[in-house]
Structure 1
Amino acid sequence: MSTVPAVHNHRHILRLILSCRKITAQVSNTSTSSIVAMASSSQHDFLKRYHSKLNRFPGSHRFWDTSTASRVGHKVAFQLKEIGIESVAIDLREELSRPPHQKIMVLPLFDSVRRAGVVVDGVEKLSEIGPVFD
């Protein structure tokens, strides 16, 4: 048996790019560094919700929430299933280094990917943040 962590043995890695305006999930092949799937809250089907938050009074500096994160996760999982990828890993160090409010906001994305049938290696170690899955 190998003692190398699963992330290092994994062929595909799921990374999140977060800002106050959008959340993007991208899956890349670790051997080629090419992006194989990507979904973002800046895509067309998210625009209506984005504009409603943009024009809201009082204004907000955050334009995505846990619901948006979950939808982004579902979209990227659908793409993964479509091309035959059944498991991905996360960069645990990167996820644990996020500020506490961002850690909690991205958990629904990981849950959504899992519920769509894609295994997310490493996410079980995020349980210290809060409940990861039901």
Structure 2
Amino acid sequence: MSSPKQRHLLRLGLSCRKISAQVTNSATESIVAMASSTEQEFMPHYRSKLTTFPRPHRFWDANIASRVGEKLGFRLTDIGISDVEIEQPPLPTHHRKLIAPFLHSVKRAGISVYGSEKFESESQA
């Protein structure tokens, strides 16, 4: 269980090749859980994108983002963390719209994500 003094920060790493998420304990700066689109489960999808012509500009999509969020949510639930705060610098619009499925998956796993409202409202616009 997370005590009131402990804050857990969700940090996203986004590029055209991968999406990665890590949750850190703000008091110790240690990583408590992480998930990424470079995990073994996602390699067949990644390899299929490499062999297509013309190559896509982005190797992950909303479906992959959703599955990464689901994995992170289950890992957080397993270790007893029920709420996180998203810490994210400004992002390009095309990345912000793909974060919403990720956040919905984390929430479906039972994790409260503070600060996610700005990303969800942009995806509906």
Above 0.5 in TM-score? yes
Q: Aligned to 1:129, what secondary structure does the other structure show?
A: helix
Do residues 64 (structure 1) and 60 (structure 2) align?
yes
1:100-121: CA deviations, max 9, x gaps? 1110011110110001110101
Backbone CA RMSD of aligned residues: 1.7
Q: 1:54 pairs with 36, 42, 50, which one?
A: 50
The amino acid that maps onto 2:113 is V
| Cα distance in 1 between the residues matched to 2:6 and 2:124 | 24
1:113 paired with 2:106, answer yes
Q: Does the CA-based 8 Å contact 1:20-1:61 persist in structure 2? A: yes
- State the percentage of identical aligned residues: 50
Q: Which runs of 5+ in 2 are unaligned?
A: none
- Uncovered stretches (5+) of structure 1, i.e. residues with no partner: 1-8
Q: For residue 77 of structure 1, what is the aligned residue in structure 2? A: 73
Alignment of 1:91-110 (within 5 A): 91=87, 94=89, 97-110=90-103
What is the TM-score with the length of structure 1 in the denominator? 0.84
Count of aligned pairs between the two proteins = 121
Query: C-alpha offsets along residues 11-59 of structure 1, whole Å, 9 cap, x if unaligned?
Result: 1011100111100010000000000000000010100111111111221
8 A Cα contact 1:74 1:113, kept in partner: yes
